[in-house]
Amino acid sequence: MTLQEITAKMSEGASKKTAFGNTVKFSTDQGVVYIDGMQSPPTVSNDDKAADCTLKMDFSDFSDLIGGKLDGMTAFMTGKLKIEGDMGVAMKLQTILR
């Protein structure tokens, strides 16, 4: 999957959700995916903006995470996922991304 394909998939999923009150950025070696959860429904873009929580990982791991091949907690515990900012926002993501 490309960054644009992942962004489109996440945007489609976000369109069915309600605001969650935070902003989140996935930062990879191939670009970023920014989720504005202050809006309802949340918006998803490739804008590199400041966020309440930034999740950093290699693009291949990010693709696996979004594709359901990699569990977020496993990625964090094995060092494939690094979290900067509000850890509570990162915990909300499991329900947001499903």
Query: CATH number, domain at 27?
Result: 3.30.1050.10
| pLDDT score, position 21 | 93
pTM of the model: 0.91
What is the total count of domains within the chain?
Answer: 1
SS3 label, residue 40 = coil
| pLDDT score, position 35 | 95
Give buried/exposed letters for 19-51 (b at 16+ CB in 10 A, else e): ebebbbbbbbeebbbbbbbeeeebbbeeeeeeb
| pLDDT score, position 62 | 95
Residues of the chain under the 50 pLDDT cut: none
| pLDDT score, position 91 | 82
The domain of 52 spans 3-97
pLDDT tens digits along 16-29: 999 999 999 999 99
Spatial separation of the C-alpha atoms in residues 71 and 76, rounded to whole Å: 9
| pLDDT score, position 95 | 66
